[in-house]
Amino acid sequence: MDIPFTVKNRPDTGLYNGKLGVWLFLASEVMLFGGLFSAYIFLRTGVEQWPTGSEYLDIPLATLNTLFLITSSVTMVMSWASLKLNDFKKFKIYSGVTLLLALAFLVVKYFEYTHKFHVGYLPSTNNFLGIYFTMTGLHVLHIIGGMICIFYFWIPGAKMWESDPERFTNRIEIVGLYWHFVDLVWIFLFPVLYLL
Amino acid sequence: MSAEQHKQSFLTKYIFSTDHKVIGLQYGITSLVWLLFGFALMMIMRYQLAYPESPIPFVGSIIGDGGILPSEMYNSLGAMHGTIMIFLGVVPLAFGAFGNYFVPLQIGAIDMAFPKLNAASYWMYFIGSVIMAVGFFVPGGAANSGWTSYPPLADIATTGQTVWLFGMVMLITSSLLGSVNILVTVIQLRTEGMTWMKLPIFVWTQFITAFLLLLAFPPLEAAGVLQLMDRLAGTSFFMPSGLVVSGEVLTNAGGGSPLLWQHLFWFLAHPEVYVLILPAFGIITEIIANNTRKPIWGYKALVYAMVFLGFMSFIVWAHHMYITGMGTSIGAFFQTTTMIISIPSVVILTALLLSLWGGSIRFNTPMLFALGFIPMFGIGGLTGLPLGLAAADIHLHDTYYVIGHFHYVVAPGTIFALFAGIYYWFPKMTGKRTNETLGKLHFFFSLIFMNGVFMPMFVQGLAGVSRRLWDGGETYAHAADVLYLNEVMSVSAWLLGLAQIFFIVNMIISLFGKKTGEKNPWNATTLEWTDTTSPPLGHGNFEVVPSVYRGPYEYSVPDDEQDFTPQSKKV
Amino acid sequence: MSELTPEQVKHHIKTYVLVFIALAFLTIVTVAISYLDLGVVGGVVLALIVASIKGSLVACYFMHLIDEKVTIYWTLIATVVAFLILIFVPLSTMLAQAKI
């Protein structure tokens, strides 16, 4: 006996199990980052002085990073769409580009962080930097987690396309949902930390 | 996955199993061990409270310094008692064990939606509990800033606090994975005919509990990350400016807020208490229906009340923070929501009580615990009302009154329900029966001594005795008249511990007892009793996956030859 | 979602490209408005509005929310409500405190 609705949708919910699972997981992630956003608001409203983002952060670089991540979201959904159109080669290309863009994001972040450490801006320096490093740091961990998943289906796990293409496509959709969420967090993180 | 292709090794069959029943048992055994350990910690604390600065018997030699419990260690025992009982004991047992084992069976599913994820969540719980245990062995001992870990104290506390935080991150992640699994299982894997309003109340409670855990735990994980940053990276998220410790002004950046921690902590910790009670409500409902041989009174009322309770639980948390100076309008808001949330609790308890009316009551061990639960939870709930009213709370906050209140709901409340569940479902899990005499002795002595431990706490609390005092209030004049109760409570606690021997012995001899193999010894109506063997089949639970045609509590249906009608019996 | 035809997927692809252009444009807008002097409240509100529009586009089209049935919506509504409580209630206690 197999567990039902792992691949096919359950009629009344219109979902297969994995998709519902990842949406619920994303709900918990909204609350996780929500806790940190709430902390940011609480800390900022609790003090007289709070620096603006431009005092410590490089806005053009972060804007570039935002564009990297948005583009990676497009390539991610395109990789799924390619599978729906039975084009495995295109899937590979789009997945690869997604990984490249994510890597670019990480590289920019690496330069941002090391520059700050170099001039003595640490999380302990003040709460602005503290919350900046914590929130972007947690976001970076989520990017890395996503990259591991995308890479897994790009190379080692890709053979499932041969044995169970529908299930494989669903898995890519699920990874995509997670990846779009990570992009979504940045869409809010960027203006809040850098621009306000 | 047919039976033939399953030659499993010992490891995959018993240790890293993905079968929800094995995982449920793993959660069950681990959590029972932790409950015992957490209880033992309290018995040590109560010796210090009864006979301050006397050497502790049995364990005195490892405590050191003449066997007298140092105050820092008392604080560790207190913090770890709370942490262990809640996060390593009750929730894993109520949700991880009972939920995993019985939700799939009761909805007619062959397993949980994500079996491998299920195994992962158990092992994360296990690792988290090992991390918590390690805390006892680091310099400075285990976490000692209360289970609530308030900064600034928690920020500057000994190493054990960092260990606690890592343990919590692990446990929270385990819990989140478990919640996702239960939610998807209930939404997607209900068998044919199992509509939402035909679900056993037990499944409803597990479902709502999973939602609470899913949405309420992450802010605490965020707070834990922030506290780890404070402790390890020198940030000042929770550290106000100009803090002086032991005469020295701290050099960190400051500008932080201890209140921020309290908000994020209680945002979880209030829904957490409903996580502690909802599975209990579910178990009690099953047992009452079964042992009154009639349907539950107010099935719909129960469902709506529990859903409403779940929603309200997110907007009452600052009743734990009345005296932090929030301002009267915010205080009034939380007082109002807190008073409102008592309504669904009363609806639920009333429904359970009314379910007894006109019933043909069987006084077996599970039913005795269920009957005991009702008034005990009633006391717990009623004593919560003065705490929910801000004015009264000013006097009662952080006194023994609070400890009495929450222990009544959790100890003769939830834990009685969990014992009830163990006695009720033991025949299903093992195909064997427990000893009724030992069960009844366990119940009666537990009931008496639970009250012996917790009732005097209200007296002490009303007199103004603060909680978390190593000397039990000895140095305070206002405590003088009620100090004698410390010894009363301690003796009750130790006798309560002895009473658990009836349970432990019962479990051991029953496990080695004769297999009756009875499928449905209680003549119950729900799928786990009517359509599976005892224990259920290894893979797939059911010979034939049942369809559902009726509600979950069709007992004493007129014109039926039996006094119970299985959910799977065709109309 | 598993039951889409190739034609439907191709139509979706057109949408993805349009959404991408919108997102890129809105990113420029986000940065541009940060140079305007709108005061703290104005700046925050406008930044959050733009971010919410971008987020909705990602959610509705990249995450296919616009095609889903009620189950996901109920989950998200519950989450959004919990999120708003988490953001606004501690803030309100902070603001009320400041007034004492």
User: Do both C33 and C50 map to the same domain?
Assistant: yes
Between CA C66 and CA C77, with CA C71 as vertex, the angle to 5 degrees is 75
pLDDT in tens, chain A (196 residues): 789 999 999 999 999 999 999 999 999 999 999 999 999 999 999 888 899 889 999 999 999 999 999 999 999 999 999 999 999 999 999 999 999 999 999 999 999 999 999 999 999 999 999 999 999 999 999 999 999 999 999 999 999 999 999 999 999 999 999 999 999 999 999 999 999 8
Check CB contact under 8 Å for B236 and A130: yes
Question: Same domain for C5 and C46?
Answer: yes
Q: Is B114 on the interface with A (CB under 8 A)?
A: yes
Interface subset of B 509-548, CB within 8 angstroms of A: 539-540, 545
Q: Is B142 helix (H, G, I), strand (E, B) or coil?
A: strand
Least confident range of B57-61, B446-450, B477-481, B533-537? B57-61
Chain B environment of A1 (Cβ under 8 Å): 1, 110, 539-540, 545
Taking each helix axis from N to C end, the angle separating B98-107 and B20-50, rounded to the nearest 10 degrees, works out to: 140
Please list every residue in chain B whose beta carbon sits closer than 8 Å to the beta carbon of residue C99: 327
Give the pLDDT score at C36: 86
Domain ranges within chain A, ordered by starting residue: 17-195
Q: Is B184 on the interface with C (CB under 8 A)?
A: no
pLDDT reading at C4 higher than 80: no
pLDDT digits (tens, 9 = 90+) for B37-95: 999 999 999 999 999 989 999 888 888 678 899 999 999 999 999 999 999 999 999 99
CB B563 within 8 A of CB B569: no
3-state secondary structure of B465: coil
Is there a single domain that holds both residue C43 and residue C85?
no
Give the number of A-C residue pairs with CB atoms closer than 8 Å.
Answer: 129
Nearest residue, CB atoms, B187 vs list C71, C79, C96:
C71
Split at pLDDT 50, 70, 90, the class of C69 is confident
Minimal CA separation from B402 to chain A, in Å = 27
Chain B: residue whose CA lies nearest to A19: B184
- Give C98's pLDDT tier (boundaries 50, 70, 90): low
Residue in chain C nearest A60 by alpha carbon: C31
Q: CA of C71: which chain B residue's CA is closest?
A: B187
Q: Does B305 touch chain A (CB under 8 A)?
A: no
d(C-alpha B440, C-alpha B418), whole Å: 15
State yes or no: pLDDT of B7 exceeds 70.
no
Q: Assess whether pLDDT exceeds 60 at residue B5.
A: no
**Do the Cβ atoms of C93 and B327 come within 8 Å?**
yes
Please compute the mean of the pLDDT values over residues B168-180 and round it to a whole number.
97
Residues C59, C21 share a domain? yes
For chain B, positions 191-230, list CB contacts with chain A under 8 A: 214-223, 225-226, 229
Total of domains in chain C: 2
Which pair of tokens denotes residue C57? 């586009």
What residues of B are in contact with residue A46 (Cβ under 8 Å)?
255, 257, 260
Q: Which chain A residues in 18-57 lie under 8 Å from chain B, judged by CB atoms?
A: 20-21, 24-25, 27-29, 31-36, 38-39, 42-43, 46-47
Q: Taking CB atoms and an 8 Å cutoff, what residues of chain C touch A73?
A: 58, 62
Residues of A in contact with B113 (CB under 8 A): 3, 17, 21
pLDDT score at B1: 43
**Looking at the complex, does the CB of residue B257 fall below 8 Å from at least one CB of chain A?**
yes
- C50 in the same domain as C11: yes
Q: What are the E-state strand segments in B205-326?
A: 244-245, 248-249
Q: Answer yes or no: is pLDDT of C97 > 90.
A: no
Q: Mean pLDDT over all residues of chain B?
A: 95
Nearest CA in chain C to A7: C2
Q: Is the model's pLDDT at B169 over the cut of 80?
A: yes
d(CA B86, CA B38) in angstroms, rounded, equals 10
Q: Does C56 lie in the same domain as C96? A: no
- A9-15, Cβ contacts within 8 angstroms, sequence gap of 24 or more: A9/C1, A9/C2, A9/C3, A10/B188, A13/B187, A13/B188, A13/C69, A13/C71, A14/C68, A14/C69, A14/C71, A15/B188, A15/C68, A15/C69, A15/C71, A15/C72
Q: How far is C69 from chain A (nearest CA, A)?
A: 6
Please indicate whether, in this complex, the C-beta atoms of A74 and C34 are within 8 angstroms of each other.
no
Say yes or no: C27 and C75 in one domain: no
pTM: 0.96
Whether residue B261 lies within 8 A of chain A, CB to CB, comes out as no
Assess whether C11 and C36 both reside in one domain. Answer: yes
Judge if C17 and C29 occupy the same domain: yes
Domain limits at C93? 68-100
Rounded to whole angstroms, how far apart are CA atoms A161 and A148?
18
In chain C, which residues have their Cβ closer than 8 Å to the Cβ of A49?
A: none
Q: Which tens digits make up the pLDDT trace of B196-252?
A: 999 999 999 999 999 999 999 999 999 999 999 999 999 999 999 999 999 999 988
Whether C50 and C29 have beta carbons less than 8 Å apart is answered as yes
Q: Flag if A20 and B115 touch (Cβ within 8 Å).
A: no
pLDDT band at B3 (very low <50, low <70, confident <90, very high): very low
| Chain-chain contact of C85 with B216 (C-beta, under 8 angstroms) | no
Q: From the candidates B107, B187, B215, which should be mutated to test the interface with A, based on the most A CB atoms within 10 A?
A: B187
Q: With bands split at pLDDT 50, 70 and 90, how would you rate the model's confidence at B15?
A: confident
In angstroms and rounded to an integer, the radius of gyration of the C-alpha atoms of chain C is 18
Which residue of A10, A67, A84, A167 to mutate against C (max C Cβ within 10 Å)? A84
- Residue A62 is predicted with a pLDDT of 95
Please give the average per-residue pLDDT across B434-443, as a whole number: 98
Band (B14; pLDDT cuts 50, 70, 90): confident
C39 plus C57 within the same structural domain: yes
Do residues C32 and C56 share a domain? yes
pLDDT of C100 above 50:
no
Q: Quick check: B541 and B532 in contact, CB under 8 A?
A: yes
**What DSSP string describes A56-87?**
HS-HHHHHHHHHHHHHHHHHHHHHHHHHHTT-
pLDDT band at B4 (very low <50, low <70, confident <90, very high): very low
Residues C100 and C74 in one domain: yes
Overall fold of domain A17-195: Four Helix Bundle (Hemerythrin (Met), subunit A) (1.20.120)
Portion 66-105 of A in contact with B at CB < 8 A: none
Mark yes or no for CB contact B226/A134 under 8 Å: yes
Q: What is the token pair recorded at A157?
A: 């796990």
Note whether A153 and A80 are within 8 A (CB): no
CA distance C51 to B8: 52
Answer whether residue B2 shows pLDDT above 70. no
Three-state secondary-structure class, residue B150: coil
